[in-house]
Amino acid sequence: MSFSRRAIDITPQVFLPAVFFILDMCYRVDSSVGKEIPMRTLYALAALLLAAIPAHAQYENFNNPALESKMAGAMMLPTVIVDMPNTIGSGTVIFSEYAELPSICTAEARAMPIDPLCAGPTNGQKQIRTYVLTAWHVLEGSFFPPKKKEKDEKKSGLLIHPMKTDGPPTPAPPSSGSPPQTLGPLASEKPTMVTVPPHIEIVARAASSTGEMDIDFVRHEAAMVAYDAEHDLALLRLTDGAVLPYVAAVAPRNVQLQPFRKVWAVGAPLGFGPEVTEGNLSGAHERLGKQEFLLSSATIYKGNSGGGLFQWSRERTRFELIGVNNAIGGGIPHIVLSVPIVYIHDFLKEHGFDVIIQ
């Protein structure tokens, strides 16, 4: 990682030459006493040097404002609260800028009323679009008639607990500006889907150049433009024309995922946050039923569903989204299941939104 590379680079440049210098003294005579320095004394000095220098270099990573600001801007600040009438979940901003209208209009027309700008010639035209990636089960109860009682799902002997929060939404300050446009019925092939889109609000961080913790929250209206119930993914679009200042980098489809890789889970547990937890990747192909999940120890809680799982890419020198947090296994917060990046790419491509991460 870039933030620990300095500690790694110090090793051959500083303390190894120093250690060899000290060991070389084994063959030199101390002129003041006329005796050779005892070998075990030199080895002890070398061991202390080996332990102290890299430890000092590693501690330079703590309380490092530049590093912490970079990590916050890449992972925490692109994370938003998905606030539904009866449910709270999390989401990750993956696009917020001008988009080419022809491809975007085609993709959005599958799920929402035609945008006025899409009704006429669109070649060469662009418009602001902001998209948030989340988990479908966060939204499902508001789009379909509620079930009698949502039960945890059992797969392969493991009880799976979705990490959404049921209950009243957490209050937040209203957003400024003109009211958003009203959307019509959500197009769907499923006759059981409700005909009026539910009220979806995105609670996001306001702009800041420092990544500090006291950034204000702002509410935005949103609508769902795509979903995949099988892989538990959904895509939301802000309908108030806002541009969000923090956007997560999405890892490529073929990104390398290794066991023991350090990962960060980011979400809004119980409507608070965003909160960041750290863990390690344990598996990239954990199969439960017909689905594959990422398995990690980055703790999540109720309300984290739809939030992102991130890792550091040394190749691209950035923190990247590699999964969407989905559930925990057996009710244990650090047995975390996340939808892998492969399914995310396939989902966006299937619905015509792959252009936003190219």
Tens of pLDDT, residue by residue over 249-272, are 999 999 999 899 999 999 988 888
Inside any domain, residue 261: yes
Question: Which residues, 6 or more positions from 319, have their beta carbon under 8 angstroms from its beta carbon?
Answer: 70, 71, 74, 75, 248, 249, 264, 310, 311, 312, 313
What whole-number distance in Å separates Cα of residue 208 and Cα of residue 23?
Answer: 52
* Statement to judge: residues 143 and 9 lie in one domain: no
Inside any domain, residue 241: yes
Q: Which of 247, 270, 292 lies at the terminal end of a domain, its last residue?
A: 247
What whole-number distance in Å separates Cα of residue 86 and Cα of residue 166?
Answer: 6
What whole-number distance in Å separates Cα of residue 323 and Cα of residue 250?
Answer: 9
- Tell me which residue has tokens 């491809």: 103
Minimal CA–CA distance to 157: which of 330, 286, 336, 294? 330
Structure tokens at 173: 């300050």
* Statement to judge: residues 93 and 240 lie in one domain: yes
Helix residue ranges, H only, the chain: 2-10, 16-24, 39-59, 65-71, 101-108, 116-119, 136-143, 341-350
Inside any domain, residue 68: no
| pLDDT at residue 180, as a whole number | 31
pLDDT tens track for 330-355 = 677 778 889 999 999 999 999 999 98
* Statement to judge: residues 264 and 340 lie in one domain: yes
Q: Nearest 10 degrees: CA dihedral of 142, 134, 334, 58? A: -150
**Which backbone phi and psi does 181 adopt, to 5 degrees?**
-70, 155
Inside any domain, residue 217: yes
| pLDDT at residue 186, as a whole number | 32
The beta-strand segments (E) located in 141-297 are 153-155, 158-162, 165-166, 200-205, 217-228, 233-238, 249-250, 262-267, 275-288, 291-296
| pLDDT at residue 190, as a whole number | 38
Q: Which of 206, 224, 247 lies at the terminal end of a domain, its last residue?
A: 247
CATH assignment of the domain containing 264 = 2.40.10.10
Chain centroid to CA 15 = 37
Domain ranges, residue 335: 251-345
* Statement to judge: residues 114 and 239 lie in one domain: yes
Structure tokens at 342: 């492969």
* Statement to judge: residues 237 and 296 lie in one domain: no
Inside any domain, residue 357: no
Say if residues 138 and 163 touch (Cβ distance below 8 Å).
no
Structure tokens at 38: 């005892």
| pLDDT at residue 301, as a whole number | 86
| pLDDT at residue 264, as a whole number | 95
* Statement to judge: residues 131 and 109 lie in one domain: yes
Inside any domain, residue 117: yes
Its pTM surpasses 0.75: no
Minimal CA–CA distance to 84: which of 340, 264, 242, 268? 268
pLDDT tens track for 106-162 = 888 877 666 666 766 666 678 889 999 999 999 988 887 655 544 555 444 445 555
Structure tokens at 105: 């209009």
Inside any domain, residue 74: no
- The total domain count for the chain is 3
Q: Which of 247, 281, 310 lies at the terminal end of a domain, its last residue?
A: 247
Residues in the chain predicted with pLDDT less than 50, given as ranges, are: 1-14, 31, 55, 58-59, 149-150, 154-158, 167-195
* Statement to judge: residues 50 and 184 lie in one domain: no
Structure tokens at 154: 């059992």
* Statement to judge: residues 220 and 147 lie in one domain: yes
Inside any domain, residue 124: yes
Helix 2-10 and helix 39-59, axial crossing angle in degrees, nearest 10: 160
Chain centroid to CA 174 = 25
